Structure 1
Amino acid sequence: MNLLLLHHLETVRSITLKVLSSVTEQESLVTPDGFSNNIVWNLGHIAYIQEKLVFELAGKKNQLPASYERLFAAGTKPSQWKETPPTLIQLKEELMTQTERIKEFIPAHYDLKLAKPFTNKAGISFDHVGSTFLFSFYHEGMHVETIKQIKKAIQEKKS
């Protein structure tokens, strides 16, 4: 496996963390008109899906709090939450810890064939850990862009 991929993981995650650092706790919980989720949801969703794509599909244990599935799985939304979500600080720490765990895991498992192929909501199928890992970069980037759009909508409403 090429170490450039691990560097790319760090690059993508550092962009996410930089965006996170420009958000206040109050802003993170606002769901602006036209959006179904808030910034906390998007950050938690990034962490949850990354965990699933890299670890769970490889048959490994999900190391995130159990609440992440209830709060951040596809199809969930803040308006349905029955428990308190993690804070921005907690999400930042989970994302940083997850990055380190992935960097340790991926080199030895990149070429591992999944026990059964995984097909995402777009109908794209993956059969190796490496392919789900690479897809996770695209997924994270999409949600970072959504976070930026939510922040912009919040700021526009303030002015």
Structure 2
Amino acid sequence: MSHFVADQLKFVRRQAVDYVRNITDSASEIIPTGLKNNIKWNLGHMYVIHEKFAFQLTGEETKYPANFSKLFDPGTNPSDWDTEPPTLSQLIDLLTEQMERVESVLSSKLKEEINPHYKSSTGLSFTNAEQLLSFLIYHEAMHFATIKNIKSIIESD
């Protein structure tokens, strides 16, 4: 799928995945003082929101692993987890596979209208897959920056 929005989205995802490859599973679960989430939560949240925007809202098949909504939906946080989260390695595999699905499933449908149109909680309206993927660039980059911040805090302690 050679399309600017899709290429940018793959770039941001690849940057995030490459950045966390050498973090230990235990380090990915540290919640720095003053924050609500950890690296693992941010990665799982990226996966969940990507499923919603890239697949659910476009009418395509979603792949939510067991307990992912409970663990990683907006408003959740690791201090409330009562079930074992996936390992960092499992998250990396899921995030990588997810981008492959975006490419294979949506490459020819970027301009197709979604029905119903989607209006975000902040009032932003989306009418096609390309717009949804464009939003995901912002979302992924925001969480990648958070991951980098958390790692920096962990390393300075």
Instruction: Encode CA deviations 1:45-83: one digit per residue, 9 max, x unaligned.
Output: 011111110000011221130311111111111111111
The Cα of 1:122 is off from its aligned counterpart by 2.6
| Total equivalences in the alignment | 157
Q: Is contact 1:110–1:129 with CA below 8 Å preserved after alignment?
A: yes
Corresponding residue SS for 2:11: helix
Query: Percent of pairs identical after alignment?
Result: 36
Structure 1 pair 97/2, CA: closer, same or farther in 2 (3 Å)? closer
Alignment of 1:87-106 (within 5 A): 87-106=87-106
CA RMSD of superposed structures (Å): 1.5
Ranges in structure 1 where 5+ consecutive residues have no aligned partner: none
Q: TM-score, normalised by structure 1?
A: 0.92
Are 2:115 and 1:84 aligned?
Answer: no
Which segments of structure 1 move beyond 3 Å, counting only runs of 4 or more? none
Alignment of 1:16-31 (within 5 A): 16-31=16-31
Letter in 1 for 2:132: T
Which stretch shows the higher mean deviation, 70-79 or 6-15?
6-15
The Cα of 1:121 is off from its aligned counterpart by 3.1
Q: Is contact 1:64–1:94 with CA below 8 Å preserved after alignment?
A: no
Alignment of 1:40-79 (within 5 A): 40-79=40-79
Ranges in structure 2 where 5+ consecutive residues have no aligned partner: none
Instruction: Encode CA deviations 1:131-150: one digit per residue, 9 max, x unaligned.
Output: 00111011000000000111
Higher helix share: 1
Q: 1:38 matched to which residue of 2?
A: 38
Give distance in 2, aligned partners of 1:146 and 1:105. 29
Q: Is contact 2:9–2:136 with CA below 8 Å preserved after alignment?
A: no
Give distance in 2, aligned partners of 1:5 and 1:122. 22
Q: Is contact 1:57–1:114 with CA below 8 Å preserved after alignment?
A: yes
Corresponding residue SS for 1:25: coil
Which stretch shows the higher mean deviation, 119-128 or 80-89?
119-128
